[in-house]
């Protein structure tokens, strides 16, 4: 295959591919999980959970929230760039990546929404 | 404990030989595999021992990755700049000398870095809080500088940089993709380079075993420039050895292939050592290996840090002699290797690892990244502009 042809093919795949990936990123929603169903398999992937805040801890640079749903409990790590007031007893929905700290799974929040039904 | 650490260093050096010699096998991939295995390994050995293994592997990798870069023309992302001067010497029958130049640079740089570590610790501690808020602006200025140094076409370099950034943003925002760096970097800097070098069938002449001849004064100037630039770049996110080498070589009006290889060897290793220092001093992980160490170690104490530095020095000496021996073997067998079969085997291996660890979405990312990774090579533009895939998302992360 000559170089010009290869260049054209690569350019087409790259540009269409980048748009395709941008569309997938834009339109695919993170999968909703109940806390009990989250395992090591979800490590590093973005998911969504919902529940009630049972405890808040204010640390330098971040908040640690204990979130409880019908099945279990999980720690939510929220960096302080969130312009949101979170208190105990509030129902929230959290989108973020699953990480592991001290052999325990936790979620690093990318987005936190307060649910109206609280 | 000492015996356990020595075994970890030897095993790390052995693994570093494999990762360093295998084109397209990025050190991050092995670090991720080690992390996966660490759940099991931690039942038997301490986190410090696993970290020492990773350090020995990473240091050895930075010495040996010059071999595929120079002899096979298939570098990883950290060695992209050594290909041209290295290949030029190879075609003159001086491939061994080219490899030894990078190895001398690496070893000298490790010794110098460890000597100035007592100064580097307060320097990094003091400088990082000062520049932390300016990181996106420093990255923007560095990127403009790197694009302006492009000889062929600055406009094309800018387009490649921006498109890489868009690709990086898309990949990092895919919610269900695990390990996004693996297919992204393996495509941009691994398989794409192998495909391009498969299509170029240059004839390699018989190789001579000659030792490099370097002037002390010029070597000291080049190493100092490399050390200063690496110290500044080593703790900045998104800036890797290739970018540091361009910045470090800019004060020299004309730098010969020999001294450029010395510089790239030095920077490649120093950036790795500085990233260990950055982890200890500012708790920031700047590359895959260090990310895994930070995950394995709950807290790095001063004595752990001293063990890490000692492991770095011992590994560097072992890696130097390994490089010397393996470069001799490469020089004698390079004309007999079936390079095409080797490349195809490595491509199949990377694709398999990506499918296993990241699934079909990772495979799609790998395909797109590979196609995009081929573009700069065909346009004659430096591949380091594709580091935009990390630099632009980092800039946006800090600014937005």
Q: What is the pLDDT of residues B55-94, one digit of tens each?
A: 999 899 989 988 887 877 655 656 555 556 777 788 788 8
User: Which of B166, B175, B178 has its CB closest to that of A28?
Assistant: B175
Task: Give Cβ neighbours of residue A91 (< 8 Å, ≥ 6 apart).
Answer: A50, A51, A52, A114, A115, A117, A118
Q: Which residues pair with A105 in a beta bridge?
A: A100
pLDDT in tens, chain A (118 residues): 678 888 999 999 999 999 999 999 888 878 889 999 998 888 878 889 999 999 888 876 778 899 999 999 999 988 766 666 778 888 999 998 888 777 788 998 888 888 865 4
- How many whole angstroms separate alpha carbon A85 and alpha carbon A6? 54
B260: alpha, beta or left, given left = phi > 0 and alpha = psi -120 to 50?
alpha
- How many whole angstroms separate alpha carbon B62 and alpha carbon B106? 8
* A-chain residues near B368 (CB < 8 A): 13-14, 17-18, 20-21
- How many whole angstroms separate alpha carbon A17 and alpha carbon B3? 51
pLDDT of residue A81: 65
pLDDT confidence bin for B101, thresholds 50/70/90: very high
- How many whole angstroms separate alpha carbon B323 and alpha carbon B257? 19
**Residue (of B13, B32, B3) closest to B313 by Cα position:** B13
User: Which of B170, B179, B375 has its CB closest to that of A25?
Assistant: B170
pLDDT of residue B298: 73
Nearest-Cα distance to chain B for A42, in Å, is 8
Q: What is the DSSP string of A7-43?
A: HHHHHHHHHHHHHHHHHHHHHPPPEE--GGG--GGGB
CA distances from B124 to B84, B119, B206, B289, B323 (A): 33, 9, 46, 19, 31
Cβ separation A7–B367 shorter than 8 A: no
Comparison of pLDDT for B271 and B360, the residue scoring more: B360
Element (H, E) at A79: strand A73-79
Cβ separation B178–A17 shorter than 8 A: no
Do B385 and A10 touch, CB atoms closer than 8 A?
no
Here the tokens at position B304 are 């752990």
Do B212 and B65 touch, CB atoms closer than 8 A?
no
- How many whole angstroms separate alpha carbon B316 and alpha carbon B268? 12
Do B68 and B326 touch, CB atoms closer than 8 A?
no
User: Which of A7, A21, A47 has its CB closest to that of B368?
Assistant: A21
Distance, CA of A104 to chain centre: 16
With CA atoms as reference, the chain B residue closest to A29 would be: B175
- CB interface of B with A, residues 150-169, below 8 Å: 163, 166-167, 169
Helix, strand, coil: what percent of chain B each, to 5? 80, 0, 20
* A-chain residues near B176 (CB < 8 A): 28, 30-31, 45-46
pLDDT confidence bin for B169, thresholds 50/70/90: very high
**Mean per-residue pLDDT of chain B:** 84
Regarding pTM above 0.80, the answer is: no
Task: Tell me if residue B44 falls in helix, strand or coil.
Answer: coil
Q: What is the pLDDT of residues B347-395, one digit of tens each?
A: 898 898 889 888 899 999 999 999 999 999 899 888 888 888 988 988 8
pLDDT of residue B363: 95
pLDDT confidence bin for B310, thresholds 50/70/90: very high
Interface residue of B198, B296, B368 to substitute, partner A, most A CBs within 10 Å: B368
pLDDT of residue B23: 67
Average pLDDT value for residue range B219-247: 78
CA distances from B345 to B4, B342, B352 (A): 34, 5, 11
CA distances from B29 to A98, B54, B180 (A): 20, 12, 11
**CA B242, B376, B151, B66 torsion: positive or negative?**
positive
pLDDT of residue A118: 47
- How many whole angstroms separate alpha carbon B303 and alpha carbon B38? 22
């Amino acid at each position: 295959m000559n170089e010009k042809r290869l260049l054209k093919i690569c350019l087409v795949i790259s540009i269409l591919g980048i748009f395709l990936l941008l569309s997938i990123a834009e339109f695919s929603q993170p999968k909703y999980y109940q806390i009990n169903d989250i395992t090591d398999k979800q490590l590093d992937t973005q998911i969504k959970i919902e529940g009630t805040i049972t405890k808040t801890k204010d640390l330098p640079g971040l908040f640690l929230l204990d979130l409880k749903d019908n099945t279990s409990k999980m720690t939510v790590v929220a960096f302080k760039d969130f312009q949101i007031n979170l208190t105990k007893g509030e129902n929230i929905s959290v989108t973020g990546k699953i990480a592991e700290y001290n052999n325990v799974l936790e979620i690093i929040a990318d987005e936190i929404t307060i649910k109206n039904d609280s | 404990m000492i015996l356990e650490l020595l075994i970890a260093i030897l095993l790390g050096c052995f693994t570093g030989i494999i990762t360093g010699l295998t084109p397209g096998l990025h050190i991050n991939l092995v670090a991720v595999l080690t992390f996966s295995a660490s759940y099991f390994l931690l039942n038997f050995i301490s986190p410090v021992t696993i970290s020492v293994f990773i350090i020995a592997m990473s240091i050895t990798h930075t010495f040996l990755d010059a071999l595929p870069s120079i002899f096979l023309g298939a570098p990883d992302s950290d060695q992209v700049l050594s290909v041209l001067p290295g290949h030029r010497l190879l075609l003159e029958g001086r491939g061994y000398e080219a490899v030894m130049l990078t190895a001398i640079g690496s070893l000298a740089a490790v010794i110098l870095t460890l000597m100035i570590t007592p100064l580097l610790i307060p320097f990094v501690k003091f400088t990082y809080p000062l520049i932390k808020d300016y990181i996106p602006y420093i990255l923007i200025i560095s990127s403009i500088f790197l694009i302006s140094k492009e000889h062929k076409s600055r406009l094309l370099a800018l387009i490649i940089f921006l498109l890489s950034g868009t690709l990086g943003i898309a990949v990092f925002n895919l919610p269900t993709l695990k390990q996004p760096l693996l297919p992204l970097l393996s495509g941009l800097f691994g398989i794409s380079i192998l495909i391009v070098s498969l299509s170029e069938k240059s004839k390699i002449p018989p190789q001579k075993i000659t030792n490099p001849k370097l002037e002390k004064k010029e070597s000291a100037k080049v190493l100092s420039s490399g050390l200063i630039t690496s110290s500044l770049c080593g703790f900045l996110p998104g800036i890797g050895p290739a970018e540091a080498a361009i910045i470090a070589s800019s004060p020299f009006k004309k730098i010969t292939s020999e001294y450029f290889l010395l510089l790239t060897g030095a920077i490649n290793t120093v950036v790795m050592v500085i990233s260990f220092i950055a982890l200890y001093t500012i708790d920031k992980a700047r590359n895959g290996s260090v990310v895994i160490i930070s995950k394995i170690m709950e807290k790095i104490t001063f004595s752990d840090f001293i063990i890490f530095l000692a492991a770095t020095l011992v590994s560097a000496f072992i890696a130097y002699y390994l490089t010397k021996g393996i470069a001799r073997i490469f020089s004698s067998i390079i004309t007999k290797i079936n390079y095409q079969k080797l490349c195809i085997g490595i491509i199949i291996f990377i694709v398999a690892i990506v499918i296993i660890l990241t699934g079909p979405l990772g495979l799609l990312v790998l395909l797109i990244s590979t196609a995009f990774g081929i573009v700069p090579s065909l346009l004659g533009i430096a591949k380091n502009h594709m580091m935009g895939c990390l630099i632009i998302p980092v800039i946006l992360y800090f600014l937005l």
